[in-house]
Amino acid sequence: MALTDEQILQVFKKTEGILHGHFVLTSGRHSDTYMQCAKLFVHPEESAYLCGALAEKLREFNAEIVVSPAVGGIIMGYEVARQLGVPNFFAEREGGSMTLRRGFALKAGMRVIVVEDVVTTGGSVKEVMELCRNAGAEIVAVASVVDRSGGQVDFGVPYCALLSMEVKSYEASECPLCREGKTPAVKPGSRGLK
């Protein structure tokens, strides 16, 4: 089941996973569009539909486990793992760095797919990749629902995204929305959440 960009966008619009307004991204840059993937995962049926399409692309990697960065990647990681028929862990920040807690432990040589909801710079994904490799695991692929880098990010392994979107963003000092002075920029992301 390969979905078209239009079909995927329809699901996002239906679940209000695309927000329009004035936002501060994790990078500190401003944008008029924000992909709020959490809104997609409010709806189990739509989540299963999109993650199922992604899981189809991921099957060829014969992964043994899915690992995702908290918080954004947790629900998606669970659903992709469920559809692939493999277990899943999530990594979380402790003292600023990504760690596996709660008795989660990777075995050496394990084939891992790292799953994140939205990739912008890929920072969290790269941290989780390093964490898994330090445990001796092998990263066979990275997957996300949305690639906001517009294909610019390079993980050094195959990367599957359902939707590749290049959303314009601006340095805060050069933001046209700020200049218009209409609405203050808001930060809808989850980094820094305890």
Q: Is the separation of the CB atoms in 119 and 146 below 8 Å?
A: yes
Min. distance of Cβ 38 from Zn ion in angstroms? 22
Structure tokens that stand for 16 in this block: 């209000």
Nearer to Zn ion, 24 or 84 (CB): 24
Instruction: Examine residue 167 and tell whether it contacts Zn ion (CB under 5 A).
Output: no
Contact with Zn ion (CB under 5 A) among 48, 70, 167, 177: 177
19 binds Zn ion (CB under 5 A): no
What residue number has its CB nearest to Zn ion? 175
CA distance 190 to 91: 14
Dihedral of alpha carbons 74, 126, 61, 118, sign: positive
Residue 70 in contact with Zn ion, rule: CB under 5 A: no
Indicate whether 185 belongs to the interface with Zn ion (CB under 5 A).
yes
Given 3-state DSSP classes, what are the helix, strand and coil percentages for the chain, each rounded to the nearest 5?
30, 30, 40
The contacts of residue 141 (CB under 8 Å, 6+ apart) are 58, 61, 63, 113, 114, 157, 158, 159, 160
Q: Which stretch binds Zn ion (CB under 5 A): 36-44, 107-115, 137-145, 171-179?
A: 171-179
Residue 30 binds to Zn ion (criterion: CB under 5 A): yes
Q: Does 9 bind Zn ion (CB under 5 A)?
A: no
Establish if 25 lies at the interface with Zn ion (CB under 5 A): no
- The CB-of-190 to Zn ion minimum distance in angstroms stands at 20
Of 9 and 178, which has the nearer Cβ to Zn ion? 178
By CB under 5 A, residue 55 contacts Zn ion: no
Residue 189 CB, shortest distance to Zn ion, in Å, is: 15
* Cβ neighbour number for residue 49 with a 10 Å cutoff: 17
Which region, judged by CB under 5 A, interacts with Zn ion, from 24-32, 34-42, 51-59, 68-76? 24-32
CA dist list (Å): 162 to 11, 22, 66, 83 = 12, 25, 17, 15
Place of tokens 């695309």: 18
* Beta-ladder partners of 111: 138
Which of 40, 66, 139, 175 touches Zn ion by CB under 5 A?
Answer: 175
Instruction: Give the footprint of Zn ion on this chain (CB under 5 A).
Output: 30, 175, 177-178, 185
